[in-house]
């Protein structure tokens, strides 16, 4: 699936960036299979209704981009509005504090299931980031500290790690959802097959 994404990168990514992207994509797959998020639930429902797989996949894809998996919104805030990876440190931090103080929702933070830390599915991706991209890891820690000054229960979520992966492989802007869709497509298809065969969705 990585090979389907590489043509959309501005230049050939470094191996360490590809490694991080692969681990983020695996985290997506694991999350979709273990947690029954909205996209997987929709695929199950379509199967239970006897709808074709194309309808199930379309329903799953249509669930992303708003409050569920807002990867493009997350990338826009952090890396285009705040310029958090390539901007003078105090400037983006001050700008972030203003965003947090405004009371608006911070894309890339918070999880509907995992409330006390990052999702466990992200551990390998987080380890890869810290080992291979210390400056990006430092950004993540600084951003978390600032957000938690006002919202101590919020932690980085899948959308922020995905947006980071997009930046590090230099993915063209606007196609971020490819990572989400390609990673979860086999899980959606499997959930639909199981539902068509009479399986019941597990509780989230």
Rounded to the nearest 5°, which phi and psi values hold at 9? -85, 145
Provide the token pair at 26. 């695996």
The distance of Cα 92 from the centroid of its chain, to the nearest Å, equals 22
Whether residue 202 lies inside any domain: the answer is no
Asked, for residue 138, whether it belongs to a domain, the answer is yes
Structural domain of 89: 14-196
Structural domains of the chain, count: 1
Question: Does residue 151 register a pLDDT over 80?
Answer: yes
Provide φ and ψ at 156, rounded to 5°: -55, 140
* CA 20 centroid distance within chain: 13
Residue 63: the pLDDT is 86
User: Which pLDDT band, with edges at 50, 70 and 90, does 204 fall under?
Assistant: very low
- Would you state the pLDDT for residue 182? 94
Q: Which residue has the tokens 């360490």?
A: 16
Q: Is the dihedral of CA 91, 154, 127, 129 positive or negative?
A: negative
**pLDDT surpasses 50 at 150:** yes
* 127-138 pLDDT tens trace: 999 999 999 999
Cα–Cα separations (whole angstroms), residue 96 to 60, 77, 99, 149, 150: 32, 9, 5, 11, 12
pTM of the predicted model as reported, rounded to 2 decimal places? 0.89
**Which is more confident, 86 or 146?**
146
**Cα–Cα nearest to 92, from 164, 146, 39:** 146
Does 2 reside within a domain?
A: no
Considering only residues 103 and 36, tell me which one the structure prediction assigns the higher pLDDT.
103
Render pLDDT for 7-30 as a digit per residue (tens, 0 to 9): 999 999 999 999 999 999 999 999
Distance, CA of 127 to chain centre: 16
Quick one: pLDDT band at residue 203, thresholds 50, 70, 90? Answer: very low
CATH number of the domain to which 82 belongs: 1.10.230.10
- What is the pLDDT, as a whole number, of residue 34? 85
The answer to the question of residue 204 being in a domain is no
Q: CB count, 10 Å around CB of 12? A: 11
Residue 5 within a domain: no
Percent of the chain clearing pLDDT 90 (strictly above): 75
Contact status, residue 163 vs residue 109, Cβ threshold 8 Å: no
> With 60 as the cut, is the pLDDT of residue 73 above it?
yes
pLDDT digits (tens, 9 = 90+) for 50-70: 999 999 999 999 988 776 678
Predicted confidence band of residue 199 (pLDDT cuts 50, 70, 90): low
**Taking the C-alpha atoms of 34, 40, 45 and 46 in order, what is their torsion angle to the nearest 10 degrees?**
-140
Alpha helices in the chain, H assignment, sequence order: 2-5, 15-35, 38-48, 53-62, 71-75, 89-101, 123-132, 134-150, 158-168, 177-196
Coil, strand or helix at 73: helix
* Percentage of residues of the chain with pLDDT beyond 70: 96
């Amino acid at each position: 699936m990585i090979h389907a994404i590489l043509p959309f990168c501005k230049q050939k990514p470094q191996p360490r960036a590809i490694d991080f992207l692969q681990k983020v994509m695996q985290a997506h797959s694991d999350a979709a299979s273990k947690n029954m998020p909205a996209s997987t639930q929709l695929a199950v429902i379509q199967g239970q209704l006897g709808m074709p797989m194309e309808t199930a996949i379309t329903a799953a894809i249509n669930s992303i981009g708003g409050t569920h998996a807002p990867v493009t919104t997350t990338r826009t805030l952090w890396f285009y509005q705040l310029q958090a990876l390539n901007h003078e440190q105090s400037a983006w931090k001050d700008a972030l504090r203003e965003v947090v103080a405004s009371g608006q929702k911070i894309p890339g933070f918070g999880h509907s299931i995992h409330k006390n830390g990052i999702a466990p599915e992200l551990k390998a991706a987080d380890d890869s980031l810290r080992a291979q991209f210390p400056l990006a890891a430092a950004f993540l820690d600084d951003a978390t500290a600032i957000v938690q000054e006002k919202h101590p229960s919020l932690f980085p979520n899948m959308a922020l790690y995905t947006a980071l992966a997009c930046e590090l492989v230099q993915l063209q802007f606007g196609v971020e959802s490819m990572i989400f869709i390609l990673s979860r497509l086999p899980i959606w298809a499997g959930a639909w097959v199981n539902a068509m065969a009479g399986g019941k969705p597990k509780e989230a």
